[in-house]
Amino acid sequence: MNYDVIGDIHGCYDELINLINELGYSRDQNGILNHQDNRKLVFLGDLTDRGPESLKVVHFVYELLENEVALYTPGNHCDKLYRYFCGRDVQIRHGLETTVDEFKALSSNEQVTVASKFKKMVEEAALYLQLADNQLIIAHAGIREEFIGQRHKAVRTFVLYGDITGERHPNGMPVRRDWAKEYTGERTIIYGHTPVKEPRKAGSTINIDTGCVFGGSLTAYRYPEGQTISVPSSMPLVEEKFHTFED
Ligand SMILES: [Mn+2]
């Protein structure tokens, strides 16, 4: 199986549709989206929050999962929205407020539908994906080589939040270590979570969060071809949200 892995969408539904069209997916006579070359889409998490149409993205990805044309692994924003839908006491900030506003504007029937779809997606999802005979790893914020195959608490924190130190930068952003630079493994690791202007390769890792919701682009990585395809964002550019790395 060949895969098209899609970076952090954050409610940018129009860009998602543009990218999927660009990748060559289309609907068959039964209205089911698929690819004539038998490819699958892979979503690496953070489907919602900050952007304009988070719940439309949820419905769309849910349909693809039901039709088995996509795989999904959650991000930190997915984890928090899941806890919100479970009625837990979560802080409605860092972008969750846009999704909650969309949710509250729905009828109670529509609320039940979208919440149960999303909960099912997250409950059935793996913390990270091991594909292509374990040669392709997809993890929201990345993963250390020695963590591959493990699922304990430290692995979960790393996969959802990255290699955080617990400290914060003066602008409030958590300090994240550059784990990808140290990665010497053979397996391909595709991740997102940290917005970069261009897809960032380091060893056999690639960060494909090109900050669509901050006015960058939405990027897909084609495996095994190793090619990236990006579509431009319709959102205003928020320059300070993009990270730069020393390679
Ligand atoms: Mn994230």
CA distance 18 to 228: 15
Cα(51) to centroid(ligand 1), Å: 13
Cα(108) to centroid(ligand 1), Å: 29
Cα(76) to centroid(ligand 1), Å: 5
Give the tokens for residue 67: 């039709």
Cα(46) to centroid(ligand 1), Å: 6
68-111 residue pLDDT tens: 999 999 999 999 999 999 999 999 999 999 999 999 999 999 99
Q: What is the mean pLDDT of the chain?
A: 96
Cα(161) to centroid(ligand 1), Å: 7
Give the whole-number percent of the chain exceeding pLDDT 70: 100
Cα(7) to centroid(ligand 1), Å: 10
User: What is the predicted pLDDT for the residue at 175?
Assistant: 85
Q: Residue 236: name the closest of 213, 203, 206, 218 by CA.
A: 213
Give the tokens for residue 39: 């490819």
CA distance 54 to 85: 14
Q: Is 66 helix (H, G, I), strand (E, B) or coil?
A: helix
User: What is the predicted pLDDT for the residue at 176?
Assistant: 85
Amino acid at position 6, single letter: I
121-133 residue pLDDT tens: 999 999 999 999 9
User: What is the predicted pLDDT for the residue at 247?
Assistant: 62
Cα(185) to centroid(ligand 1), Å: 23
Cα(207) to centroid(ligand 1), Å: 12
Give the tokens for residue 190: 């595709």
CA distance 65 to 246: 37
Backbone phi, then psi, for 159, in 5-degree steps? -65, -40
How confident is residue 232, by pLDDT bands cut at 50, 70 and 90? very high
Give the tokens for residue 150: 């493990």
Cα(31) to centroid(ligand 1), Å: 31
176-197 residue pLDDT tens: 889 999 999 999 999 999 999 9
Cα(162) to centroid(ligand 1), Å: 9
Tell me: pLDDT of 201 over 90: yes
CA distance 208 to 191: 6
User: What is the predicted pLDDT for the residue at 39?
Assistant: 97
CA angle 123/126/129 to nearest 5° reads 155
- DSSP classification of residue 214: G
CA distance 73 to 23: 20
Report the DSSP pairing between strands 2-6 and 39-43: parallel
Burial class (CB in 10 A: 0-12, 13-18, 19+), 186: exposed
**Mean per-residue pLDDT, 217-228:** 98
130-180 residue pLDDT tens: 999 999 999 999 999 999 999 999 999 999 999 988 899 888 878 888 999
Q: Model pTM?
A: 0.96
Q: Residue 74: name the closest of 50, 42, 51, 32 by CA.
A: 42
Tell me: pLDDT of 17 over 80: yes
* Residue pair 45/91 in contact by the 8 Å Cβ criterion: no
- DSSP classification of residue 5: E
User: What is the predicted pLDDT for the residue at 212?
Assistant: 98
